[in-house]
């Protein structure tokens, strides 16, 4: 906890080699990779700090100790969370991890509605994502070229496969090896076991729809953590079905459980929260970005 707290800054004259905008799944990964390669890195997050374990305020709270057993008042949902409530993970347990639609609205064309699920906090939507983690296969990278629609990908599956493995080893993806071209196998941890209803369904489904078959979902949950995961401070999944409230076990992959500790371990990361990036500072002489302008989310001050 002390390591995280000491990384937060409001102002600093320290020069940085890299600035990462956002702290969600992508921002967390970028910060980890940059720090581990020796770069002094500043992570700029528009939302509030959320510390692992400490700020999972409804974790482990039983339904009978929640107003309306965890369901939200319909009027409050309509006034404040009419878009965010469409996310599977939204409830009275998790509303603190979602933006308030009334205070932070956005508009879309009437004939093209779009449900933009947003969470402004350290960790972003890595705290509430559904954790299903599947590789694209060779066909996904070749279909544009084969059907003549769209722009052909500049890379192929084999180019990306080693990087899939790099990510999967660190994140921890559980699943079963199936040897299917359309859904390539990953660097899996042991798959979770089907429950009895699923086993009965699979027994009927597989023969009826062969060669299709029912498989366990591939998800970023530690079924049996490796030594590397234990070194991150992560423990096995407890199968509590309450992941989106925050997981103190660190069993599911999030910025807080995995990439942020890795970046902090290097001593090269600083984090500026409540800092909305307004624009990049561009140097035309070098054709490079040299920094960012931010607006303080609490004081509206610019810096």
**Helices then strands (H, E): number in the chain?**
8, 7
- Which regions of the chain carry the CATH code 3.50.50? 2-108+116-129+267-296
Q: What are the angstrom distances between the C-alpha of 151 and each of 144, 154, 157, 159, 256? A: 6, 9, 16, 18, 36
Q: Between the CA of residue 135 and those of 141, 165, 175, 180, 216, what are the distances in Å?
A: 11, 10, 12, 11, 15
Question: CA triplet 257, 263, 265: central angle to 5 degrees?
Answer: 90
Residue 66 pLDDT level (bands cut at 50, 70, 90): very high
In the block, which residue shows the tokens 């086993």?
199
pLDDT tens figures, 72-81:
999 999 999 9
pLDDT > 80? residue 90: yes
Predicted confidence (pLDDT) per residue in 198-254, tens digit: 999 999 999 999 999 999 999 999 999 999 999 989 999 999 999 999 999 999 999
pLDDT for 114 equals 87
Question: Rounded CA gap, 4 and 26, in Å?
Answer: 19
Inform me whether the pLDDT recorded for 155 exceeds 80: yes
**What CATH fold (topology level) applies to the domain 2-108+116-129+267-296?**
FAD/NAD(P)-binding domain (3.50.50)
What integer pLDDT is reported at residue 150 of this predicted model?
Answer: 87
Is 134's pLDDT higher than 60? yes
Q: For 158-175, how does the pLDDT look when each residue is reduced to its tens digit (9 = 90+)? A: 999 999 999 999 999 999
Listed in sequence order, the DSSP H helices in the chain are 2-7, 25-36, 74-80, 138-147, 157-171, 196-209, 227-231, 260-265
Percent of the chain exceeding pLDDT 70 equals 98
Across the range 255-278, mean pLDDT stands at 96
DSSP conformation class of 161: H
With a pLDDT cut of 90, the percent of the chain lying above it is 87
Residue 1 has pLDDT above 70, yes or no: no
Which band of pLDDT confidence, cut at 50, 70 and 90, is reported for residue 3?
low
Q: Strand 188-189 and strand 18-21: pairing?
A: unpaired
């Amino acid at each position: 906890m002390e390591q995280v707290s000491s990384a937060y800054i409001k102002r600093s004259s320290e020069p940085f080699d890299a600035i990462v905008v956002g702290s969600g799944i992508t921002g967390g990964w970028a910060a980890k990779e940059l720090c581990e390669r020796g770069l002094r890195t500043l992570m700029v997050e528009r939302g509030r700090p959320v510390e692992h374990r400490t700020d999972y305020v409804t974790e482990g709270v039983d339904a009978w100790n929640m107003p309306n057993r965890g369901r939200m008042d319909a009027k409050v949902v309509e006034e404040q969370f009419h878009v965010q409530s469409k996310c599977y993970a939204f409830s009275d347990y998790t509303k603190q991890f979602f933006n308030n639609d009334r205070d932070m609205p956005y508009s879309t064309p009437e004939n093209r509605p779009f449900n933009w699920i947003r969470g402004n906090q350290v960790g972003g939507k890595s705290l509430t994502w559904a954790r299903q983690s599947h590789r694209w296969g060779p066909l996904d990278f070749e279909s544009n070229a084969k059907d003549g629609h769209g722009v052909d990908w500049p890379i192929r599956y084999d180019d990306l496969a080693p990087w899939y493995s790099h990510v999967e080893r660190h994140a921890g993806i559980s699943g079963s090896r199936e040897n299917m071209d359309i859904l390539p196998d990953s660097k899996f941890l042991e798959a979770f076991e089907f429950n009895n209803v699923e086993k009965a369904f699979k027994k009927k489904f597989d023969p009826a729809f062969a060669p299709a078959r029912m498989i366990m979902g591939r998800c970023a949950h530690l079924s049996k953590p490796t030594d590397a995961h234990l070194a991150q401070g992560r423990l096995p999944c407890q199968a509590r079905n309450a992941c989106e409230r925050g997981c103190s076990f660190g069993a599911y992959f999030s910025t807080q459980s995995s990439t942020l500790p890795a970046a902090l371990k290097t001593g090269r990361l600083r984090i500026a929260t409540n800092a909305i990036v307004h624009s990049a500072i561009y140097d035309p002489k070098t054709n490079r970005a040299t920094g960012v302008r931010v607006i303080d989310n609490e004081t509206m001050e610019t810096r």
